[in-house]
Chains A and B, each alone.
Chain A
Amino acid sequence: MSLKHKIEKGYLIIDGAMGTYLQKSGLKLGELPEMLNFTRAELVEDIHMKYLEAGADIISTNTFGANRLKLKNSGKTVSEVVWQAVSLAHKAIDTFHEKHQGCSKSEQTANPKYVALDLGPIGQLLEPMGTLPFDEAYEIYKEQVIAGVEAGCDLFIIETQTDLLELKCAILACKEHSKLPIIATMSFEQTGRTFTGTDVASMVTLLEALEVDALGFNCSFGPAEMLPLIDRVLSLTHKPIVIQPNAGLPKQIDEITVYDTNANKYAEIMKTIVAKGVTIIGGCCGTDDSYIATLTDIVANAPERVKRERKSVTKVSSFAKTVTLGDNPVVIGERLNPTGKKRLKEALRNGEKDYILREAISQVEQGASILDLNIGLPELDEAKLMPEFIKEIQAILDVPIQIDSSSVACIEAAARSYNGKPLINSVSGKEDSLDAILPIVKRYGACVLGLTLDDEGIPSKAEDRFAIAEKIVHRAESMGIPRENVLIDCLALTASAQQEDVIETLKAIQLVKRKLGVKTVLGVSNVSFGLPKRELINKTFLTMALFSGLDAPILNPGNEEMMAAIDAYNVLVNNDVRSEIYIEKHSKVVPTNNPNPKPKSSTLDLKQVILNGLKDLAVQNTELLLETLKPMEIVDQIIIPTLNEVGQSFESGKIFLPQLIQSAETVQQAFERLKSELKNEEGPSLSRGKIVLATVHHDVHDIGKNIVKVILQNYGYDVIDLGKDVPPEVVLKACIEHDVKFVGLSALMTSTVESMAKTIRVLKAHDAEIKICVGGAVLNPEYAKMIHADFYAKDARETAWIANTFFDIKS
Chain B
Amino acid sequence: MPPANFEDKLEMSNRTKLQDAGLDWASDIFNVLTNQDVRQVTYVPDGGHARLITLVHQSGTMRAITLTTEEEGVALSAGAWIGGDRSVLLMQSSGVGNCVNMLSLIRVCKIPFLTIVAMRGEWGEVNEWQVPMGSATPAAFGLMDICVLRADSAFEVAGVIKAAAAMVFDGGTPTAVLLSQRLIGAKAF
Decide if A and B are genuine partners.
no
